[in-house]
Structure 1
Amino acid sequence: MNFDYTEEQNMLKDSVARFVQDQYDFEARCKVAALEEGYSADNWKTFAELGWLSIPFAEEHGGFGGNVVDTMLLMEELGKGLVLEPFLATVVLFGGLLSRGAADQQQYIGSVIEGSLQGAFAYAERQSRFNLNDVATQAIANGDGYRLNGEKIVVLNGAVADKLIVSARTSGSQLDSAGISLFLVDANAKGVARQGYRMMDGQKVANILLQDVEVTSADLVGELDQGLALMQSVISEATVAVGAEAVGIMDKLQATTVEYTKTREQFGVAIGSFQALQHRMVEMFMACEQTRSLLYRAACSQSADQAQADRDVLALKVMVGRAGKLVGDEAFQLHGGIGMTDELDVGHYVKRLMMINTLFGDADFSQQRFAELAG
């Protein structure tokens, strides 16, 4: 199988890499993290001008017409810079659901591509953990529309989003697979209350309370009662995207650690000359490469057999959790005490790896799900 990128993909990858190198060093990233919005509006405008926000959308919607591989390579380079701008939340999750919605809702895709619309996908609840079908939020029929009542937590980009896509139960009991519907909601609508806060990796998220929020049938994303399959499809692609981000982070940590061991001296020689430490850095390298191999497999299987794609995505998530911990731990150990300080970027990369592990199901949950599918 040919794993070489096309000319267009190499151009995209180089474009993102140059941006990270020239405009998004660690100091610049810290300044962005301190902003109230949690991201830089100027950087987001640059993303739009460079065409990055159009990557996964079809040409008929004004997009680039890219696929999961294009998103993968972009996310890998963003990971190397610990980029805080909400590409995952607005483009991959919110935009992915919009592109599968009704024609009237797809009009917003143009605004996402232009960079003028921020979106968020509100699906997680306090009791649900990683089970997408555990939905207690209710959508009660009200004339030709619905009233939404419930709470969503840890909504990526939820604090600043202009539009939300909310999962709610339109029929069945709390744990039923059927009966879940998705609704497009104005984030400033009456009855929507948001509480924004930062995660330990600097990402801005929000808890969102919905109290008698009125929506119409035209706000339905996808088919009534069939929202779970739509959620699973988009989150599968998003999992590949964060897997690519994790690979970028792990590559950065491995390269930074090797470089540090060449300059840090102990007993009059560079610690990188110690055979025991060389073995540990080889283990870091192997963990990165094994994760990259599973990433490629998961990306390639997205357009193949669905059952195989589900297993590959779960396997990737397990590897991201396990290998990410190994690489992060070794980076800390080999940098010594300085690796734990906020003044060095190593700790910030490790924190992001820890948060990626919890997104869409951690390693333990994914391994259990993989075993169930394989069995």
Structure 2
Amino acid sequence: MDFDLTEEQRLLKDSIDGLLTDSYDFESRKKYMKEKGGWSKAVWGKLAEQGLLGLPFAEADGGFGGGGVETMIVMEALGKALVLEPYLATVVIGGGFLRHAGSDAQKAAHVPGIVDGSKTLAFAQLEKNSRYDLFDVATTAKKKGDGWVIDGEKFVVLNGENADTLIVTARTKGNRRDTTGIGVFLVPANAKGVTKKSYPTQDGLHAADITLTGVEVGADAAIGNPDDSLALIERVVDEARVALCAEAVGLMDESLKTTVEYIKTRKQFGVAIGSFQSLQHRASDMFVAAEQARSMSMFATMAGDFEDAKERSNAIAAAKVQIGKSLKFVGQQAIQLHGGIGMTMEAKIGHYFKRLTMIENTFGDTDYHQRRVADAGGLV
């Protein structure tokens, strides 16, 4: 099997690497964190200009027809640069719902705005005590005429502060933990009855807790079947997990590079600490862990195209397990090899570790996915 990138994919990699090298150093990131919503509208515009926001959408919808490999390339680059902008929330997750189940009218209303950078989305899914169970939904959507009335609370909604449109999971029938009776709805962020409480997360991103009280939306707000959309939700979240795996690989790459550079210059007892064999062994182990993660990220990217939902889900869960183990090891070793400075806000290595830690806990931590793989009888 050929794992080499095509000429077009190499050009894509060079393009985004060049863009982020020019506009996303660590000091610039600190400035972007202070903007409304915690990210830079100017950088978002540059991503749009290069066509990166339209990458996964079909050409018929105004996109560029990219696939999983292209998304992997972009997410790795975003991880290396510690990018704050809501590519995951808007393009991967929001775009995923529109690509897989959006009507022609919904795509026409939202995709062009995503592609040109004028519109961002947020996925409002997590609820109190729901943990990682996507089917645990207490928020309700009740019929009113041809439309719906949505009531409920959603927590830790990434990009919830800035999003123009919310993608909300809500129960149309059944009990809280039933696997049927779940719908997905497009809700304008400024709709009457929507209130937000915004805050920064540990990794420098921004999220919001959102309350929906008697929010009325039309019949055209439902994406797909409003009574049976769990399979759609699981597919899009699986794609988000694959994207997170790729981002983690980028973060680990840069963490290893930064750490090796540091131990080559940091001196103790009159010599660079990188000359100590025990620290060389640690750096070697970090490299191995990062390469294991890279292999599983590539595997997850391929698995994203599996037609069998169970096979796809099991493969991606296994990838998330290895990514979780690798990122924990690489992140912890990077901090330890930096010593005390690694714990300060001024050193970027600590920010890499924070983002890695948040990825490990997003859409299921390592223990959760390990149980999923075990329950499925293993990867093979």
Kindly state the Cα deviation for residue 92 of structure 1 after the two structures are TM-superposed.
Answer: 0.6
The answer (yes or no) to whether the contact 1:246–1:353 under 8 Å persists in 2 is yes
Kindly state the Cα deviation for residue 146 of structure 1 after the two structures are TM-superposed.
Answer: 1.4
Number of positions where the alignment pairs a residue of Structure 1 with one of Structure 2: 375
Quote the Cα distance in structure 2 between the aligned partners of 1:62 and 1:216: 25
Kindly state the Cα deviation for residue 320 of structure 1 after the two structures are TM-superposed.
Answer: 1.8
SS at match of 1:214: strand
Q: Does 1:93 align with 2:128?
A: no
Question: Which residue identity is paired with 2:57?
Answer: F
Most deviating of 298-307 and 313-322: 298-307
Quote the Cα distance in structure 1 between the aligned partners of 2:376 and 2:219: 35
Kindly state the Cα deviation for residue 306 of structure 1 after the two structures are TM-superposed.
Answer: 3.2
SS at match of 2:104: coil
Kindly state the Cα deviation for residue 281 of structure 1 after the two structures are TM-superposed.
Answer: 0.7
The one of 229, 232, 247 aligned to 2:231: 229
Aligned to 1:208: 210
Aligned to 2:75: 75
Quote the Cα distance in structure 2 between the aligned partners of 1:277 and 1:223: 55
Question: Which residue identity is paired with 1:106?
Answer: K
The answer (yes or no) to whether the contact 2:242–2:304 under 8 Å persists in 1 is no
Show CA shifts across 1:28-66 (max 9, x none).
011101112211111111111110001110111010100
Matches within 5 A, 1:179-258: 179-258=181-260
Quote the Cα distance in structure 2 between the aligned partners of 1:125 and 1:294: 30
Kindly state the Cα deviation for residue 308 of structure 1 after the two structures are TM-superposed.
Answer: 2.5
Matches within 5 A, 1:131-146: 131-146=133-148
Aligned to 1:66: 66
SS at match of 2:295: helix
Show CA shifts across 1:351-375 (max 9, x none).
0001101110011111111111226
Quote the Cα distance in structure 1 between the aligned partners of 2:151 and 2:116: 32
Aligned to 2:313: 310
Quote the Cα distance in structure 2 between the aligned partners of 1:267 and 1:163: 57
Quote the Cα distance in structure 2 between the aligned partners of 1:165 and 1:281: 42
SS at match of 1:224: coil
Give the gaps of 5 or more residues in structure 1.
none
Quote the Cα distance in structure 2 between the aligned partners of 1:76 and 1:121: 21
The answer (yes or no) to whether the contact 1:294–1:312 under 8 Å persists in 2 is no
The one of 239, 262, 265 aligned to 2:264: 262
Show CA shifts across 1:120-177 (max 9, x none).
1111101211000000001111121111000000111111111111100001110011
Show CA shifts across 1:292-330 (max 9, x none).
000111111222343322112111111122111111111
The answer (yes or no) to whether the contact 1:298–1:313 under 8 Å persists in 2 is yes
Aligned to 1:9: 9
Kindly state the Cα deviation for residue 68 of structure 1 after the two structures are TM-superposed.
Answer: 1.0
Kindly state the Cα deviation for residue 266 of structure 1 after the two structures are TM-superposed.
Answer: 1.5
Quote the Cα distance in structure 1 between the aligned partners of 2:294 and 2:242: 11
Aligned to 1:363: 366
Question: Which residue identity is paired with 1:42?
Answer: A
Q: How much identity, in percent, do the aligned residues show? A: 52
SS at match of 1:332: helix
Question: Which residue identity is paired with 2:278?
Answer: A
Return structure 1 stretches of 4+ with deviation > 3 angstroms: none
The one of 143, 152, 166 aligned to 1:150: 152
Kindly state the Cα deviation for residue 261 of structure 1 after the two structures are TM-superposed.
Answer: 1.0
Question: Which residue identity is paired with 1:187?
Answer: A
Q: Does 1:342 align with 2:335?
A: no
Question: Which residue identity is paired with 1:320?
Answer: I
TM-score, length of structure 1 as denominator length: 0.98
Aligned to 1:322: 325
Q: Does 1:174 align with 2:176?
A: yes
RMSD over aligned Cα, in angstroms?
Answer: 1.0
Quote the Cα distance in structure 1 between the aligned partners of 2:311 and 2:98: 25
Question: Which residue identity is paired with 2:125?
Answer: Y
Show CA shifts across 1:52-107 (max 9, x none).
00111011101010011100110001100000010000111111112221121111
SS at match of 2:56: coil
Question: Which residue identity is paired with 2:30?
Answer: C
